[in-house]
Amino acid sequence: MRLIVGLGNPGPEYADTYHNVGFRVVDILAGRFGVRVNIACGPALISNRIGSEDAVLVQPQTFMNLSGSVLPKLFERFEASAGDVITVYDDIALPLGKLRIRQKGSAGGHNGVKSLISSSGSDEFLRVRVGILPERPVESLHDFVLSRVAKRDRDLMERAEAAAADAVEALLKEGPEKAMATFNRLDLRESKEE
């Protein structure tokens, strides 16, 4: 069973922040597959199985820094391991409009990913990193990621989130190599003027 874990902070005050990209991508996937992410499983909400895929959608209901605490209960319920996880999250190291799919690696300073690695004991899980760094200077990264998505960034952010949902579907259907070949070179900034 694939566990598609969107990272974010629970609560309406965080819903529209840059840091909640993972939650919004899971919401997009839930809409596409006609499921709800409303079943309690430990400190997470999950969906029923999505479509014909052997996968469920997951939104941790902990704060970002404790995201990994949802994994033990999920691993137990679905007889899964770190290799079954696809996580989607914001990445301040990537420009807004870019995605990166990776099969393993460090947390890159992202506390939610650090928590997943710590809890699972492995860094070998798929990641869909969604760039959030705008082209303008950002004073405090901490304040920026927890701020609401600016109006001028909203269109590009929405397109990036839709592309990230496409990337998750590609990972499920085609595997990592093909998905990486398609999405790692995607730059949505190039088409924003059209």
- Residues labelled as active-site residues: 19
Q: Confirm if 25 and 57 have CB atoms less than 8 A apart.
A: no
Contacts of 14 (CB under 8 A, 6+ apart): 8, 20, 146
Q: How many CA atoms lie within 13 A of 145 on its CB side?
A: 22
Q: Using alpha carbons, select from 106, 154, 155, 152 the residue that is nearest to residue 129.
A: 106
80-100 as b/e: b if 16+ CB within 10 A: bebebbbbbbbbbebbbbbbb
Give the three-class secondary structure for 137: coil
